Amino acid sequence: MSSLTGKVLPASRLSAAHVDRWRELLGAQVEPQSAFFSPEYTKAVAAVRPHVYVCVLERAGTPVGFFPFQFRDRWDTALRSAERVGEEMTDFAGLVAEPDIHVKPEELLRLARLGCFQFSHLDDSQTRHGLTGDAHDPGTYIDLSSGSEAYLAILKEQDRHLIAETERRRLQLAKQFGPLHLVTHGESDGSVLTTLIDRKREQYRQTEVDDALRDPWKRELLHTLLGSKDKTCQGVLTTLLAGETWVASHFGLLTDRGVFQYWFPVYNTELKRYSPGRLLLVQIIQSAHQQGIQRIDRGAGDSPAKRDFANAALRFARGVWHRQSPVGLLARGALSLRWKFRI
């Protein structure tokens, strides 16, 4: 019999002691963790939408792990059919726990009082806790632990054309509009973030891609995170200008261990011939030391734009965990119907 017990709490009602313990476990991880694993991120999601919970794993009365999840609506709440916190907004998901915690998915569901859990973006490091999925997706990140200059020097040796072409376009843009410079905004610059969101949604429309920011709570989430002062999850809003001309913008998340999530970039389509998105990323890389960035996570996906600058790989699991119990079978049946009819 497992020595673990589970206590399920609304994320908005986590005690200060729980939050401190969660941060302590994050800080003890050998591999620096994304801001998506932080209590601040889960609490930010809970502040803008309902049905967000955390299963606190305990051993002999001491919290040893935290498993956040959410229900899409009241129907899923009744069925105990959960998904990762923040759904498609969240690029990393899983359990934050002491290193020796090893729990089978069905046992984790029992502790969390769940029938099933649908997920993607389960970081491969979760295998240390016994958690994996049915299929896997690739991901990338940029390791800057040796410094931006060293990284760019190696990249130049590996792909001289990429660096030369990027520099050529930077010079052309600067010649026409003025020197490039990156501006970092504070929490009082909510209007700048609103503009970024509007431009990003217009980009989705123009490219006929599903609007990831269609739901109001997702837009509210970005504003909530911009105001975060928690060291494990800080919203960072930047604008790239050429003289006074807007080139590109980005909103991402930074941790105190230097892990930066490259999350919502948007660029000036009128400057497309200068590759503004690439210039934005290079500018962020060059300013990484000043920002305290040692790693830039690009999340799941293996597009050429990500491969061009990546020097390290990630792997994410996806799938559905379910309990072999009446509540588990009912939850999975309801989930299958939702997939079939795209509810």
Domain boundaries in the chain? 4-138+316-341, 146-293
Residue 340 to residues 31, 77, 335: CA-CA distances in angstroms? 38, 20, 9
- Give me 143's structure tokens: 């390791």
pLDDT digit string (tens) for 28-72? 987 878 999 999 999 999 999 999 999 999 999 999 999 999 999
| Mean per-residue pLDDT, 230-234 | 95
| CA-based nearest residue to 330, from 127, 4, 78 | 78
pLDDT digit string (tens) for 281-340? 999 999 999 999 999 999 898 888 888 999 999 999 999 999 986 655 665 666 665 655
pLDDT digit string (tens) for 244-275? 999 999 999 999 999 999 999 999 999 999 99
Two domains, one topology: 4-138+316-341 and 146-293:
yes
Side chain identity at residue 142, one-letter code: I
This prediction has a pTM of: 0.93
Matching residue, tokens 């991901």? 139
Exposed/middle/buried for residue 303 (C-beta within 10 Å: 0-12, 13-18, 19+)? exposed
Is 4-138+316-341 CATH 3.40.50?
no
Q: Is the pLDDT of residue 221 over 80?
A: yes
Is 146-293 CATH 3.40.630?
yes
What counts of helices (H) and strands (E) characterise the chain? 12, 13
Is 92 in contact with 34 (CB distance < 8 Å)?
yes
- Give me 75's structure tokens: 């129907």
Torsion 109-111-112-114 (CA) sign: positive
Report d(CA 326, CA 278) in Å as an integer: 51
pLDDT digit string (tens) for 18-32? 999 999 999 998 787
